[in-house]
């Protein structure tokens, strides 16, 4: 059974675009990455895969994006504590009309009155400009503005242009979120810009590492945050 609340002194987080599990060894990598994790944020997760075996005694929250017969992909958030609220977002790519999903979940913290809010995002990718990208992120950020406790915003933001990155950074600055630093930055890049990010507020960065994998075209981010 999942715990009642997360330990705010140490919250271990994994964020990873798993590329729909198309490549070999994704199960082995996911098992290894989530062994001690408290929160796992997966982008391009598919409902049909046997992901439950990695963290069976946990709470699972899923926001669907792309759907077709016998296949549904989206964002998945797994937590070792009870999920007390969840809110799904869906926005369509303007060119392909394929949906991109985001998910906001909320968790209790041990011996605290405030709660932790976590946003798991797969951002719009193919656009002629940035209007649709900005609209999606603003919608997600609006759902976070009233929260007064600790906050995590993470996922694949498809920030492959400087303008896209600046939009994301400005929205995060408005929420007073900090960007997570990495000593050895092995995040997936496009045109020289990292695509995956973790932003946080009301927490302290304790450690972080980016693992090199062959089971996805994105390398997973593993971090420890605490109060």
Tens digits of residue pLDDT in 41-62: 999 998 766 666 677 889 999 9
Question: Per residue in 171-210, pLDDT tens?
Answer: 999 999 999 888 899 999 999 999 999 999 999 999 999 9
* pLDDT beyond 80 at 139: yes
| CATH code, domain with 57 | 3.60.10.10
Average pLDDT rounded to a whole number, residues 72-80: 92
Which of 18-27, 32-41, 66-75 is predicted least confidently? 66-75
In a domain, 151, yes or no: yes
Q: Is 1 contained in some domain?
A: no
pLDDT at 123: 96
For residue 82, being part of any structural domain is answered with: yes
In order of 20, 56, 110, 129, 191, the CA distances from 14 in angstroms are: 16, 16, 20, 30, 25
Give the CA distances from residue 73 to residues 20, 49, 108, 121, in Å, rounded to whole numbers and listed in that order.
7, 10, 27, 13
Confidence of residue 22 (pLDDT cuts 50, 70, 90): confident
More confident residue, 105 or 22: 105
What's the domain range around 30? 11-226
Please check the confidence at residue 30 and state whether its pLDDT lies above 80: yes
> How many structural domains does the chain have?
1
pTM as predicted: 0.95
4 within a domain of the structure (yes/no): no
User: What percent of the chain clears pLDDT 70, i.e. is strictly above it?
Assistant: 97
Quick check: is 49 in a domain? Answer: yes
């Amino acid at each position: 059974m999942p715990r009642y609340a997360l330990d705010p002194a140490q919250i271990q987080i994994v964020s990873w675009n798993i590329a729909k599990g198309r490549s070999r060894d994704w199960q082995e990598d996911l098992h290894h990455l989530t062994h001690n994790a408290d929160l796992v944020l997966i982008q391009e997760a598919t409902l049909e895969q046997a992901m439950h075996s990695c963290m069976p005694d946990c709470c699972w929250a899923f926001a669907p994006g792309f759907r077709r017969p016998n296949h549904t992909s989206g964002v998945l958030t797994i937590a070792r504590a009870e999920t007390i609220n969840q809110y799904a977002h869906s926005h369509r790519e303007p060119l392909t009309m394929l949906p991109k999903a985001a998910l906001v979940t909320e968790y209790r913290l041990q011996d605290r009155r405030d709660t932790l809010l976590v946003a798991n995002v797969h951002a719009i990718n193919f656009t002629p400009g940035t209007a649709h990208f900005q609209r999606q992120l603003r919608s997600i950020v609006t759902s976070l503005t009233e929260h007064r406790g600790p906050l995590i915003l993470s996922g694949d933001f498809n920030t492959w242009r400087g303008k896209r990155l600046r939009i994301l950074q400005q929205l995060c600055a408005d929420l007073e979120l900090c960007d997570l630093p990495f000593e050895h930055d092995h995040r997936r890049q496009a045109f020289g810009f990292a695509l995956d990010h973790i932003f946080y507020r009301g927490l302290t960065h304790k450690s972080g590492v980016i693992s090199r994998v062959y089971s996805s075209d994105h390398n997973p981010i593993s971090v420890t945050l605490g109060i």
